[in-house]
Amino acid sequence: MPTECVVGIDVGTTSTRVNVYAADGTLLAEGCASHDISHPHPGWAEEDAEDWWRAVCVASSEALDRFPHPRNNIAGIAVTSMRQTFICMDRNLCPLRPGILWYDTRHAAQADWVRSHIGGQTVYRQTGSPPGRRAIYKVMWLKENEPEVYAATAHILFVPDFILQRLTGQLATAPGVSCASGCLDVVAKTRWATNFIEQCGVDPDKWLDDIRSAGTVAGCVTAEAAAETGFVAGTPVVLAAGDQACGNLGIGVSEPGLLGINGGTSCALQTPSVRLPSDKAMSFFVDFSPAGYYVAENGITSGTAALTEWFRDGFGHPEVDTAVDEGELWDMLYHLAAEAPPASLGLMLVPYLRGANGPLWNPRARGVLVGLMTDHDRPHIMRALLEGLAYESRHILESMERGTGVPVRSVRTYGGASQSDVWNKIFANVLGRPVAVTADPATVSLGAAIVAGYGVGLYADPVNAAQRMVRVCKSYEPHPDPAELYDELYREVYVHLYERLGDLMVHISRITTHTP
């Protein structure tokens, strides 16, 4: 077994994972620690930044206690995290207030102001993101509503920046982290869209000016951090990217022509691109892969876990009452979907149950279930939910192909739903492309570890690193008969459904929620 090992640290929304890998991708040890979210007002979501550091220390110590080799065998560490979540630091590098999380919605008025006064297309061309949940709009909110905090803020740090500073004493960031600000210059990659930041009334100097490429060693573990985490002082810490981009690298989506799909709570899709992806309809936003590529990304907010939990709570009482544990329950629900034929006797879902992302970018969008007959039963509904996600994923995939100019030749899936044969077969047949699943379920931590590996010179480049450390365990090919049926329904029906019904869905939202 190789003596040189690497560590991936993933600070998630509710917990932090620290995994130690051998150079061939074998998982050697892991640790995990939770952290709490507070919701002080409706729409707000915050966490104490000190909890992130505490969780890193606890999870690292736990993993290293289980590590079967000397700790100086660890050649490098990389940190990734939930994107867009940020913390305001004073000049002494102390947090001024709790961190504001990625799904916090306090900034709606600021995003609306930018949309109307600067223009969505203008912002999209500069930053790769239309006005929305990015950090810049929440910083605008802070300036207007917590002026003392804003004035005292010397540095706005994202979670990996904060953990890097605690580990090494250094202040630096990477494009795949800082793009979550919504104000990074996507053309230049390592500089801010200063003019746009100033138009927003925000001081550009509050953002970190040291933006380096992923794979760069940003510093080494200090003696103080070593005492708290258990890592050896002097261990290199490598800049990486956000969780989705690292997760895609962790399934081997390391070059153009490949697409990753997350089968978790949200159904996120990413594909790398050599050139800056562009789309006049703003169908996707731009991220950065730690492999050095641009990334086109979009997603379905009401993804597989969201829809299957909705079905479970409303229609799945027979399975809930019968299953002995959570794993058996999900197996039973996916088996239920398999009882219905492909295309669910014409029952089709547009999965906007939590609003729509690009190109609509409309929180008022609503889901549409059409083709319902008395012949339909629970299996048809369950299957239609999965097929609707696959149809919308194909819609997103095709917009990404147009924006990047590169056909997607194969797909890799990860997240909870990727463990289901039924889910993967549906996606292979609807997308009309082969689908593969990889062995390690902790793909985000693995992706960060891959970045650490090539950052410290264990591999020639990120593609080589991913090829060495990622292993495919299952593959699914499209089957001609259902694939042909799905293709006709997609082209002749699905792509036209929301064009014809979308305005009515928005009216339903306005009428029933009693908001302007």
Q: Kindly report, residue by residue over 91-119, the tens digit of the pLDDT.
A: 999 999 999 999 898 998 999 999 999 99
Task: Phi first, then psi: give them for residue 41, nearest 5 degrees.
Answer: -145, 160
**Predicted local distance difference test score (pLDDT) of residue 261:** 96
Conformation bin of residue 215: beta by default, left when phi > 0, alpha when psi is -120 to 50: left
For the entire predicted model, the pTM comes to 0.91
Conformation bin of residue 42: beta by default, left when phi > 0, alpha when psi is -120 to 50: beta
Q: Which two tokens stand for residue 368?
A: 């549409």
Give the span between the Cα atoms of 449 and 453, in whole angstroms: 6
Question: Has residue 490 got a pLDDT over 90?
Answer: yes
pLDDT confidence band for 179 (50 / 70 / 90): very high
Higher pLDDT, 429 or 505: 429
Give the span between the Cα atoms of 216 and 193, in whole angstroms: 22
Please report, rounded to a whole number, the percentage of residues in the chain having pLDDT higher than 70. Answer: 99
Give the span between the Cα atoms of 428 and 436, in whole angstroms: 9
Give the span between the Cα atoms of 329 and 332, in whole angstroms: 5
User: Which domains, and CATH codes, for the chain?
Assistant: 5-244 (3.30.420.40), 304-429+479-513 (3.30.420.40)
Average pLDDT score over the chain: 95
Residues 6+ apart with CB under 8 A from 259: 253, 269, 270, 271, 397, 400, 408, 410, 411, 412
Residue ranges with strand state E in 57-209: 74-81, 86-89, 99-100, 155-158
Q: How many CA atoms lie within 13 A of 387 on its CB side?
A: 30
